[in-house]
Amino acid sequence: MTVTFRPLLASLGLSAALLASASAQALEVDKAIEYRQDALRVMAFQTGPLGDMVQGDIDYDAEAFALRANNLASLAHLPWEAFVEGSLQGDDHGIETDAMAAIADDMDDFNARAETLVEETATLAQMANDGEEFNALRRQMGSVVNTCRGCHDNYRDN
Ligand code: HEC
């Protein structure tokens, strides 16, 4: 109940009067963690069929591939703004997250990896739009997946 109620209070501009600054801060962290996990799941949902096609688990369909690749490219810039201060593992928020504290130690590297994902997915979408052949798309999809994996290996705890 409080979880759904508080954002409403905050959006009505009552936060300063009614919420201690500590709980206002906690609220932002709540929303940030939930948002980025949702965004990453949406991204993964679009990545799935692309991976299945390049691995031959489902038939390659150029139109479906281009659609998914464009969706993924549009989504790839979304999660990162939500890695806010105080929202990582070991921070005092009590919410389940796999985002390792190491992110704060090397924010530049983390952001660079996020930027690489934006670029690699944009390239994949462009190649699909240009009608490039399957083998080239498969190679580029490999770069996309390696970017996901590289960041998870360093900054995701599971
Ligand atoms: C720049 C780093 C980075 C990149 C790139 C990255 N991820 Fe992640 N991912 C994370 C972190 C950190 C978490 C943990 C987030 C949390 O629990 O708060 C995560 C979590 C996830 C989750 C679990 C979300 C949940 O809580 O249910 C999925 C699914 C996921 N990533 C998919 C992907 C896919 C697919 C790609 C590539 C297309 C990708 N990620 C690229 C850092 C990254």
In the chain, where the domains are located: 2-155
What pLDDT does 24 receive? Answer: 59
- Going 7 to 8 to 12 to 14, the CA torsion angle's sign is negative
Question: What gap in Å lies between CA 152 and CA 102, rounded to an integer?
Answer: 12
2-155: which CATH architecture? Up-down Bundle (1.20)
pLDDT above 50 (res 142) = yes
What pLDDT does 25 receive? Answer: 61
Pocket test of ligand 1: the residue of 152, 154, 155 to mutate, having most ligand atoms within 8 Å of its CB, is: 152
Residue partners of 135: CB distance under 8 A and separation at least 6 = none
CA of 142 to the centre of ligand 1 (A): 17
What pLDDT does 7 receive? Answer: 46
What pLDDT does 158 receive? Answer: 84
Can you give the pTM of this predicted structure? 0.87
pLDDT above 70 coverage of the chain, percent: 83
Q: Cα angle at 85 between 97 and 101, to 5 degrees?
A: 50
Question: What gap in Å lies between CA 8 and CA 24, rounded to an integer?
Answer: 12
Cα→Cα distances 141→57, 64, 86, 148, Å: 15, 14, 33, 11
Nearest CA to ligand 1 atom 38: 148
CA of 58 to the centre of ligand 1 (A): 24
Cβ burial, residue 67 (10 Å; 0-12/13-18/19+):
middle
What pLDDT does 23 receive? Answer: 58
Nearest CA to ligand 1 atom 2: 151
Question: What gap in Å lies between CA 148 and CA 86, rounded to an integer?
Answer: 23
CA of 54 to the centre of ligand 1 (A): 21
pLDDT tens sequence across 79-134: 999 999 999 999 999 999 999 999 999 999 999 999 999 999 999 999 999 999 99
Closest atom of ligand 1 to 72 CA is 38
Q: Is any ligand 1 atom within 6 A of the Cβ of residue 6? A: no
The mean of the pLDDT values for the chain is 89
- Going 100 to 103 to 106 to 112, the CA torsion angle's sign is positive
Average pLDDT over residues 4-11: 44
21: tokens are 């600054």
